[in-house]
Amino acid sequence: MRLFLSLPVLVVVLSIVLEGPAPAQGTPDVSSALDKLKEFGNTLEDKARELIS
């Protein structure tokens, strides 16, 4: 009875292990976000200078 129950568990565990690691999903690209933030800041600065001038 024990062997009968542990066999399907072994098959599931082996299939998970052999499948390999899951691909990374939704990992944020920090350098890209910082570049966009800098560009946004520069745009705001330029518009503020235009309003002041």
Provide the residue range defining the domain that includes 48: 29-53
Confidence label for 25 from pLDDT (cuts 50, 70 and 90): low
Residue 22 has pLDDT above 80, yes or no: no
What's the whole-number mean pLDDT along residues 8-23? 81
Helices (H) and strands (E) in the chain, counts: 2, 0
Q: Over pLDDT 90: what percentage of the chain?
A: 0
Q: How many domains does the chain have?
A: 1
In a domain, 49, yes or no: yes
Rounded Cα distance, 16 and 2, in Å: 21
Residue 30 has pLDDT above 80, yes or no: no
In a domain, 10, yes or no: no
Tell me what pLDDT residue 26 has. Answer: 61
DSSP 26: S
In a domain, 48, yes or no: yes
Confidence (pTM)? 0.43
